[in-house]
Every structure is written in C-alpha cells, then in structure tokens.
Amino acid sequence: MTTLSAIPIHAAQQAPVHGETARAGAPEPIIRVRDLVVGFGSKIVMKGLNLDIRRGEILGFVGPSGQGKSVLTRTILGLVPKRAGTIEVFGEDVDGLTVARRRQIEQRWGVLFQQGALFSALTVKQNIQMPMREHLNLSERLLDEFARLKIEMVGLKPDAADKLPSELSGGMIKRAALARSLALDPEILFLDEPTSGLDPIGAGEFDDLVATLKQTLGLTVFMVTHDLDSLYTACDRIAALGDGQIIAQGTIAEMLESDHPWLRSYFHGKRGRAVVPQGGRHAQA
C-alpha cells in the first residue's frame, strides 16, 4: 500500500460536522427504526416496524418475497416516504435534517442495489469515481489513486479499471458495484440481494469479501438476502420480516430455534437442511 492509501477520504475532504460523535465512540445502534408505517395507496407494507442495526454487525434481512425488504431499505435511505414512525441514523432523527445535513449523512452510507446499477457507458474506474466527483473536490491524481484502491479492495485486477461493465463477468460486476458503493468510505453498506445471480462459488467469495471488508474497514452492513449460505457464513445477526413487522431477530442459532412457521419452513425446509451441515462459520457470533 502507498502512503496515500492510508488517507481516509473523510479525513481529507470532510470537515467535522456539528454534533458529530467520533466513529469509535458512537452510540449504538447506528440505525434505529421505530413504529414505522409505510404504504402505497391502500396497501400498507410496514405496520409499525421496529428494528435496530448495530454498529459493526452484518445484519441479514430475510422474509418472504414481496413483504417489503427492499421497501424498508429504500425508506431508511429516504427514497420512499414513511407515513408514521421515526428513523434515526447515526443518532439523528432523519425528519429533522436540513438538506445539507442530509447530504452529509448520505455520504456516510454506500448502497448496492439488486439491479447492479453500474453505468454501462462508463468504465469501472469512471463508475467508482462518480460519487467522488459528485461529493468531493479531488484532483484527477487523487481520483485515480482512490479508484485504484477501491478496485484493489474488492479483489479486482488493476486492468478492470478501464473495462466497461459489458466486458465483465457477473461476479466482477458485483465487485465493481461494491467498489463504487465504497467510494466515499461509508460507515454503513446497504446490500440488496448481493449474491443473486452468482454461482455458489462466486456467491461464497462475495460473502467472504463482505465479511473481510467489515473486519478491515469496521463497516456495518445491512444485507437483504434470500441466500441461506450468506446467512450462515457472513451474517452476525438476522432479522426476519413478516406481515409488516419484524417477526424474529437474533443469531442464526436463535433463528433456528424459532417456532414461527415461516422461519421453520425457511431454515428447516429442504433447502435449509441442505445448507446447515456446511454452515456455521459465524453461527455463534
């Protein structure tokens, strides 16, 4: 690593923010959702949901299809309006934020949406640099150096920098999109089904990468997933959504003990049973 690689973008570019708590001493949880109600027309998707995302954890978020996992993510990100309830991010109620403060907070999270979302006309390097250009005022030399670091961080070869998304495999696209979500050195990563579309080996490698990044960068990760392997190998805790509320949360061991019918069929059904013997790397976290 070069000396430059040790410089966090935050330190170089972002002035301390009023009321900011230092990263190491921040209060838990990093995100706190209370009594959340979200709906579209007459359809109510969140019915008084409560959830904490704790600093430094990988929280796997599961639940039947169409129950609102993506909607919750998008609501926390401010992309879907809520009807009631509170969302606190980094200890601040998002309802009270000024536009400028909101923008500062948005720089502290990275998002990897399910539909990849790399710009097809831009190279990997240009994709990664896009959030940096939008939020930071860096020289071209620093932009190139930071993009190079992000590419290295996600395990892509340096020559991926100048490739277009169409020249990459599915796994490489996921890694490039992850590199872009890390562009601003976020504290939280939101991953929406990050291993969907990957073969089991590629998915396992991606899970390992996320777990490694969590350790090395001190990230908090909120991961929407249907992937049982991810729950066993990467997640510290799991929260399950059902009928607009959290029906259970805890370690994989605790989820396995749940009597809830959906959780029983999810974890103890045919696919769940197939995964159990190979899992457990993080089961006792």
Task: List interacting residues with ligand ATP (CB under 6 A).
Answer: 40, 45, 63, 65-71
For residue 84, the minimal CB distance to ligand ATP (Å) is: 17
For residue 40, the minimal CB distance to ligand ATP (Å) is: 3
For residue 63, the minimal CB distance to ligand ATP (Å) is: 6
Query: 200, 204, 158: which is closest to 179 by C-alpha?
Result: 158
Query: 84, 133, 85, 135: which is closest to 105 by C-alpha?
Result: 135
46 or 182: CB nearest ligand ATP: 46
What's the token pair of residue 249? 């949360």
81 or 200: CB nearest ligand ATP: 81
251 Ramachandran zone, left/alpha/beta (phi>0; psi -120 to 50): beta
For residue 233, the minimal CB distance to ligand ATP (Å) is: 20
For residue 247, the minimal CB distance to ligand ATP (Å) is: 13
Give 248's Cβ-side CA count (13 Å radius): 20
For residue 196, the minimal CB distance to ligand ATP (Å) is: 9
The strands making up 84-89's β-sheet, listed across from edge to edge, are 43-53, 31-40, 84-89, 92-93
Long-range contacts (CB closer than 8 Å, 24 or more residues apart) made by 99-102: 101/17, 102/78
Q: Which residues pair with 191 in a beta bridge?
A: 112, 223
63 or 165: CB nearest ligand ATP: 63
146 or 267: CB nearest ligand ATP: 267
CA-to-CA distance for 260 and 265, rounded, in angstroms?
A: 9
CB-based contacts of 168, cutoff 8 Å, min separation 6: 124, 160, 176
3-state SS, one letter per residue, for 193-208: CCCCCCCHHHHHHHHH
226 or 281: CB nearest ligand ATP: 226
For residue 70, the minimal CB distance to ligand ATP (Å) is: 3
42 or 166: CB nearest ligand ATP: 42
63 or 186: CB nearest ligand ATP: 63
